Amino acid sequence: MTGFSDRVEQVSISGIREVFEAAGDDAINLGLGQPDFPTPEHARQAAVEAIEAGEADAYTSNKGTRELREAISAKHERDNDLSVDPADVIATAGGSEALHLALEAHVDAGEEVLIPDPGFVAYDALTRLAGGEPVPVALREDLTLDPGAVEDAITEDTAAFVVNSPGNPTGAVQSEEDVREFARIADEHDVLCLSDEVYEHIVFEGDHHSPMEFAESDNVVVVNACSKTYSMTGWRLGWVAASERRIERMLRVHQYAQACASAPAQFAAEAALAGPQEPVEEMVAAFEERRDVLLDGFADMGIDCPTPKGAFYAMPEVPDGWVDEVIDRGVVVVPGEAFGDHGAGHARISYATDLETLKEAIEVMRGATEAIR
């Protein structure tokens, strides 16, 4: 009887999705990480016009349209002070495919990839699917990744380490000093720094920095997407940026696994990146207001929660049984252990929902907290 590969047997269904699928239709969902804002109108209209003109019917270049890659290049210059040649960009089916390409192209069987713990669920799974061995690196008390801990964890088998700022599930933003250190580590140890920058524009305190700004080698690969910044999760449009030699290897995976990103989504993404950025600013302001309301609620409940400086997640420390009690009362949250062993004793709360609903959820969480104390 035909069996299954060892790689796929090491991977389970995402704990986030399990919670989401198990929730009832009437539940308040603070589990899934997607903005509750519409895609900007000018981006949607660009896709509609491309479809109606017949411009989105065919395959694009494997790397994506020239116009989209030029918009991505201009975005890196504008937002990150980075010179990225359009030829050194691949448009992907969301940030998840970009992570997949980077790991498939750079990790051999048995090699180690250092990942934040707690960290985004895909890092562990995609490392295993690439044949690698994920090595969790515990976060600091403020839920940031310590460059010293990363450097201490490097062995002769280490192929890469992952940096995610702002972070999912933590909302933490790495300092410029930390990011400079990550670049130094990649240079000095000749290991790949895989920088997940999908939430880069959703920052409330501090500034976003990319390790690519500071690296002296080409040992940084940047993953990004339109999903969170432009509320385009369903469009599945991301990208990977790296040196020519690294892009060429990742393209070998992409052209057989995906061929090209969705053509209509590419037209929408080009317009989103190059067009007015006010919708992003408005969305970020709304997320910051919601964050503050949620933090005030946790403080009133006596629940400790490091202040998330970006993204739209909070990761409070919660009592035993709290997550189950909250879910039983009709609010979906994700247990911290879904993001790694060091997530135990925490919960991830997504505040990507309207303020009225968030306030309702806070009252449910308050009741759950009182019930188990």
- Per residue in 155-170, pLDDT (tens digit) is 999 999 999 999 999 9
Tell which residue, 229, 116, 221, 222, has the closest CA to residue 172.
Answer: 116
Give pLDDT, residue 32: 85
Residue type present at position 288: E
Average pLDDT over residues 27-39: 94
AA identity, residue 172: A
Q: Is the pLDDT of residue 341 over 90?
A: yes
- In the predicted model, what is the mean pLDDT of residues 75-101? 97
Asked if pLDDT for residue 80 goes beyond 80, the answer is yes
Domain annotation for the chain: domains and CATH numbers: 6-38+278-372 (3.90.1150.10), 41-274 (3.40.640.10)
Comparison of pLDDT for 18 and 238, the residue scoring more: 238
**pLDDT of res. 1:** 55
Residue 324 — pLDDT band, cuts 50, 70, 90?
Answer: very high
* Residues contacting 313, CB < 8 A, separation 6+: 33, 167, 168, 169, 170, 171, 348, 349, 350, 351
Average pLDDT over residues 230-248: 98
Contacts of 215 (CB under 8 A, 6+ apart): 183, 186, 187, 193
Q: How does residue 18 score in pLDDT terms, banded at 50, 70 and 90?
A: low
Whole-number pLDDT of residue 22:
60
pLDDT in the model for residue 238: 98
pTM more than 0.85: yes
**Res. 203: pLDDT tops 90:** yes
Phi-psi region of 54 (alpha: psi -120 to 50; beta: other; left: phi over 0): left
Rounded average pLDDT over 35-48: 98
240 close to 113: Cβ distance less than 8 angstroms: no
Three-class DSSP category at 331: strand
Question: Mean pLDDT score of the chain, rounded to an integer?
Answer: 96
What mean pLDDT is predicted for residues 309-334? 96
Which pLDDT belongs to residue 19? 64
- Name the burial class of residue 238, with classes exposed (0-12), middle (13-18) and buried (19+) by CB atoms within 10 angstroms of its CB: buried
